[in-house]
Amino acid sequence: MFGRFLFIKYNVFLQKISTLFVKFIKKYKFVIGFSLIFGLFVYAYAPNFIVEIRNPLIEFSREMFYDAEFKPVSEYIIKFHFKTQDNLSLTADIYSISNPKANIILLHGIRSNKEHWHDMALWLNRNGYNAIALDMRAHGESQGTYCSFGYYEKQDVSNLIDALQAQGFKQNFGIWGHSLGGAVALQALAVDKRLKFGIIESSYADFKQITKDYSRYYLHFESDFLNNFLLERAAEKACFPINQVNPVDYCTKINQPVMIVHGTADQKINVKNARILYNEIAGKKKQLVLIEGARHTNIHQVGGQYYKNKVLSFLNKYKNLSYL
């Protein structure tokens, strides 16, 4: 008898809960629907913004708010194609001269392209250097879908050197990278000692930290939980381990001469990153050049002739190193 009483009470309780639940769903159906859609978006699509370079939404916004970066390419520039270890075809523009002092590989920033370096490549030619401006994987004319923030890109640089040496490029190789390109350049310098010197421009020290900084800069919002979740999902999509793409971790393996350059007014990647990288580089032949008032993308313009003189002095001093 008592058991039947409990059973009836239990059923009444369930009916009340069900009624309240149905009322709640009806009252907040739009909020619940939006939350479900937003959750699905965050899980399935939002990580693409980190690693998918040709993301349609980002490309659309860039076309609306930014000028195109492509510049006309001279007919004298050689279009060079080579294969990566995972069989992607990457493209580089070779600005070639007779009897160069050295070959300098140029790496652009994220969602940029090799044309970023057009003017500086011509300047390098005028001062006696070959310039090889690479479209990194998933950028510009190169194949690929995802950016791995150096995990695969550093090997791509080695593949490029292999291909160039097979074509008769015998002089020393150096590397000059901006932002993401600087992060890749540091990783490449650590693993491929055919690179005899490097210039690292406006780059970052720690991958996780820079994604937090970018969230704060662009979204005015920061959440460690959401940031870490998106990074894990993004790395899963692009198939690379997050803990192996921190440029600062490679600095202790770099003995080649390195110039670290940064603008003091860089709001995207704080100048403190330059000091961290400089302090961690193992080699003694290192320089820290701070361009007063320069932001993230105008360091060449603000630095002007002062910056070019610094670069040229560095290159002429270390172009013939062969002991590494």
Q: Which amino acid type is present at position 287?
A: Q
pLDDT confidence of residue 1: 56
pLDDT confidence of residue 64: 37
| CA gap 8, 131 in Å, rounded | 84
pLDDT tens digits along 216-232? 877 766 778 888 888 99
Tokens of 68: 């195109």
Q: Which amino acid type is present at position 202?
A: S
pTM value? 0.83
Q: Is 142 exposed, middle or buried, given 0-12, 13-18 or 19+ CB atoms closer than 10 A? A: buried
pLDDT tens digits along 42-74? 444 456 667 787 765 545 444 433 333 334 445
Work out the mean pLDDT of the chain and round it to a whole number: 85
User: Percentages helix, strand, coil for the chain, rounded to the nearest 5?
Assistant: 50, 15, 35
